[in-house]
Structure 1
Amino acid sequence: MVKQPNILLLMCDQMRGDCMGTAGHPDVKTPYLDSLARDGVRFVNAYSACPSCIPARAALFTGKSQERHGRVGYQDGVAWDYPDMLPQLLSNAGYHTEAVGKLHVHPPLRRCGFRNLTLHDGYIGYYRKPENPWIEHQFAHDAYIDFLKNRCGTGADVGDTGIECNSWITRPWIYDEMSHPTNWVTTETLKALHKRDRDLPFFIMASYVRPHPPWDAPVSYYDTYRQMQLREPASGDWDDPSRTEEDGRYYDSRFGTGDPELRRQGMAGYYACITHIDHQIGRIIKTLDQEKILEDTIVVFLSDHGEMLFDHSLFRKVVPYQGSINIPLIFRVGQNIAGGSRNAVCGRVVELRDIAPTLLEMAGADIPQSMDGRSLEPLLTGVSAGPVREYLHGEHSGGEASNHYIVSEKDKYIWFSQSGREQYFDLAHDPREEDDLIGAPGCQDRISILRGRLVQALSGREEGYTDGSRLIPGRPPQNLLNGVFTTGA
């Protein structure tokens, strides 16, 4: 048994929890992720409590709920001044810490405790606005952009395929495969492994931008799905496809496209990006095995949030449905680390905030009292099969889509804070949320219980969403909780 295990955190952006072979998806091929799951524990009820890039990553690094880290919606340009972040705490505990790929923090070179950074955040419009003082630093902090220009020409950029970074349009990568950002993250991660201080345990985060758009996997991956008959998106009795036609945008859309062929092409492009990532993860796992350190390493695979992928005529994230909030989460604990379970599936409700306390405990480091996430170590080692939590409160602020949800292992209650609209789904029997039971006579007692839990979760919040006894719609939503950011995160 090793005194302090190595830790490899493999992170994707915008990957749904159901898009793996091991999760039973009928179309997506993920042989390496399936192998990780067979050698470890897969959490089927893992969630992102605030499903967009920045607040999700804040939960991951701070071990805090969105109410505690203060980011309850998406907002660029807000400094990461948290005192106790996972990379710093592991550095303090004697780890060699390194991040490769996407961090999406501010300022862009904020280390968050990592000793080394090799960054590529993708195309983030905020840093490319001409009036933004950070535009001059866009290429200076992004190591991949510099690599791409040196390899493919000074005019090369991540958008050269013609696809916008929030678009459902897809087409294959136009440069050589090894220049793709997914390959680059893997190559740089392998360099980090080879150059590490071998007298120290390592914490390496390999963070992929895909399958966040642009969906531009190399052509061989796109061809795998291009002619495949793909499962249709989920549709329910509550869908509003008219919003898709009203929206009509090819970029930055929340409602996708109504064209069945373009939807199918988009799904093919999304799945192609996932299989591409899977194969690149295989390069890393094989290297750990060849160096005989795989069994001394905790490998974690997860995503920051999901992707609606045209389910219910919706696209992207931030909404409270399973495609958006349910994420993949796999822990593979090496055999030289005490008690790692194998080929296990855990149905307990867990969240991104639980990752930091779990890794700190397994590294033998102290868990700060500021963290309200819960260690999953007992579930990973088989010491306990008890619940981490009975239910989870999640949310996302931002215009008319502002929402809150309460989800358990078996069901979900949703409240849209601007309109007051409610929904209820029996996830145990309807995992694709195709039957809204909010008005069903036999469900009213359960709905009342979950509504009461949301009232409890929102009591005392500065937005005024409740008076302690009822939910109050129409209060102005906030992306940041002033009570957190004015007193220090």
Structure 2
Amino acid sequence: MAKTDSINPVSPARPNVLWIFGDQHRAQATGYALDPNANTPNIDNLAASGMNFARAISGFPLCCPARGSLLTGRYPHHVVPGHEHRLPPEQSTIANVFNDEGYHTAYFGKWHLDGFHERNGRAAMHIVPPGRRGGFQEWIGYENNNSQWDCWVHGGQDDTAFQYRLPGFETDELTNLLIQYIRNRADQPNGEQQQPFFSVLSVQPPHDPYIAPSTQRGRYKPADIILRENVPHIPRIVNQARVDLAGYYTMIENLDYNVGRIMDTLRQTGLLENTHVIFFSDHGDMHGSHGQFRKMNPYEEAIRVPFIVSGEKSFYDGRKTGRTDALLNHVDVAPTTLGLCGITKPSWMEGTDYSAHRLASHPTHPEPDSAYLQSVIPTKHGNSVDRPWRGIVTRDGWKYVVFEGVPWLMFNLNEDPYEQVNLAHNTIYLDMKKKLNDRLRQWIHDTNDVFQVPEV
């Protein structure tokens, strides 16, 4: 493992950090985002007491690449370029940085970074070797699952290795593991300085299959689901979207319930005021918008994710609350997390530190005018775009996406948030298309990516 560029001494004031994230939880599916279907009071409280990054995106809306970027702060074409590709074991992660800074690090839940191919068997039974667990000191997880009531986890090594089936619904049981971890970290001997921790809870819900606890599911009837304005009035699409969303919102409500349990534990242990709680998702889910399902395309429902920094000293000591329009991307999550703890990102991280939007400080570096979007290696699964594409979203509200050598999509999100009017082939907007095309070309160059940009 490569070492970080510098090691800072741990001080008693060093805050803890907790990541909580689900899979395919789109930004629009929360109460604070005014989704009429969503019941998320605990997540809404995080947004009310913290900073809501309302324009946060997942630059590659696919599990493995997004997770590789979350942990490394690097773009997918440098670490995990496609589905079931392995995170290089020699690649340092945010856990290695926190380890060097004297933190205890722990990971609970879905990993999906060991390169196991489902054609070779069920990924839930695949054992991720200790040397390929991202440098986390404690790791209890699984490669991939897609069966929330039959979730197997493993961890340890050699004589301490274990694997077992969680006794209940995945999100509930993984939260139990995290809660026990928090209690153990809080229970330090008298007089002993508490070691700060960085811990991750990664749950598969609300990823399909959209099956959830029946006690909660009864509150979501397919016929009552209010669909987004860009779901076309085609019966098969509307019907599938309604049925899927009934389970989807149930799983989100269950995740919200467990967020509440975690926050209660932090309060009870006295750790909340010294713990940054970061809630987000790896990418979104289309659910019928534009006639599409799942992810792997650049539409808002697939790339926009919730991203909230809350917890630690929410309403005082100068902490900022409210909403920011910063274009935080998946490569920015690790640098921003380190910045919240006063740790400078290592040189191998490519993302931007947006922690100043939460802390009582000013940015020490210029922030990008846009965010880079990619699909490097398509999965060619059903319900996915089967060609590579690249794109950008700009701070002034434009989105531009291309296939190899061919313009594809261009939207003015300020006037068209549901992306119903594609301007990419309208000559009236040629000057804007040239400007966006040039900026995309610059992103490809600056990130050492390889892709043929159209001539405009």
- In 2, the alpha carbon distance for the partners of 1:192 and 1:220 equals 27
2:394 paired residue number: 408
Do the aligned partners of 2:331 and 2:350 also contact (CA within 8 Å) in 1? yes
Structure 2 vs 1, CA of residues 432 and 259 (structure 1 numbering), >3 Å: closer, same or farther? closer
Q: For 1:436, which of 398, 417, 422 is the aligned residue?
A: 422
Q: Is 1:146 equivalent to 2:154 in the alignment?
A: no
Aligned to 1:204: 199
Per-residue CA deviation, residues 73-125 of structure 1 (Å, 9 max, x unaligned), is 3233x243243310111111111111111122217242212111111344279
Q: Is the 8 A contact 1:333 1:341 kept in 2?
A: no
Counterpart residue type for residue 210 of structure 1: P
Instruction: Provide closer, same or farther for how the CA distance between residues 444 and 402 of structure 1 changes in structure 2, counting only shifts above 3 A.
Output: same
Aligned to 2:227: 232
Do 1:350 and 1:389's aligned partners in 2 also have CA atoms closer than 8 Å? no
Return closer, same or farther for 1:390/1:8 CA change in 2, 3 Å cut-off: same
Q: CA deviation at 1:435?
A: 1.6
How has the CA–CA distance of structure 1 residues 121 and 79 changed in structure 2, closer, same or farther, with 3 Å as cutoff?
Answer: closer
Q: Is the 8 A contact 1:8 1:299 kept in 2?
A: yes
Aligned counterpart, 1:315: 293
Contact 1:240 1:312 in 2 (8 A): no
In the alignment, the residues of structure 1 paired with residue 154 and residue 45 of structure 2 have an alpha-carbon distance, to the nearest angstrom, of 38
Hey, what's the Cα distance between the residues in 1 that align with 2:195 and 2:422?
A: 52
Question: How far apart are residue 229 of structure 1 and its match?
Answer: 2.3
Hey, what does 2:92 align to over in structure 1? 84
Structure 2 unpaired stretches of 5+: 1-10, 116-127, 189-193, 381-385
Taking structure 1 as the reference length, the TM-score comes to 0.77
> How does 1:285-364 map onto structure 2 within 5 Å?
285-335=263-313, 338-342=317-321, 344-364=322-342
**Paired residues of 1:319 and 1:401 also in contact (CA < 8 A):** no
Of 182, 187, 210, which residue of structure 2 is paired with 1:193?
182
Q: Is the 8 A contact 1:60 1:356 kept in 2?
A: yes
1:72 to 81, 87, 92: 81
Is 1:113 aligned to residue 102 of structure 2?
no
Q: CA RMSD in A?
A: 2.9
8 Å CA contact retained: 2:111, 2:144: no
Query: Mind listing any 5+ residue stretches in structure 1 that lack a counterpart?
Result: 126-137, 152-178, 242-256, 474-489
In the alignment, which residue of structure 2 is the partner of 1:369? 347
Name whichever of 190-199 and 428-437 sits farther off: 190-199
| Distance 1:27-1:308 versus aligned 2 partners, 3 A rule | same
Tell me the SS of whatever aligns to 2:415. Answer: coil
- TM-score, structure 2 normalization: 0.82
Query: Alignment partner of 2:369: what SS?
Result: coil
Residue in 2 that maps onto 1:389: 368
**Cα distance in 2 for residues equivalent to 1:52 and 1:35:** 28
Number of residue pairs the alignment of both structures matches: 408
Tell me by how many angstroms 1:320 deviates. 0.8
Alignment-derived partner of residue 244 in structure 1: none
Q: Distance in 1 between matches of 2:446 and 2:104?
A: 41
- Identity, in percent, stands at 28
TM-aligned CA deviation for residue 141 of structure 1: 5.5
**Aligned pairs for 1:217-296 within 5 A:** 217-226=212-221, 229-235=224-230, 258=236, 260-296=238-274
Note the 1:133-172 alignment, pairs <5 A.
146-148=164-166, 151=167
Structure 1 residues 145 and 436: alpha-carbon distance in aligned structure 2, compared to 1, 3 A threshold? farther
Pick from 36, 42, 53: which aligns with 2:46? Answer: 36
Counterpart amino acid of 2:367?
V
Q: Which is further off, 359-368 or 430-439?
A: 359-368
TM-aligned CA distance change 1:269 to 1:47, over 3 Å: same
Secondary structure of the structure 1 residue equivalent to 2:39? coil
Aligned residue in 2 for 1:63: 73
- Report the Cα distance in structure 2 between the residues aligned to 1:335 and 1:232, rounded to whole angstroms: 37
Question: Are residues 449 and 259 of structure 1, via their aligned partners in 2, closer, same or farther at CA, if it must alter by over 3 Å?
Answer: closer
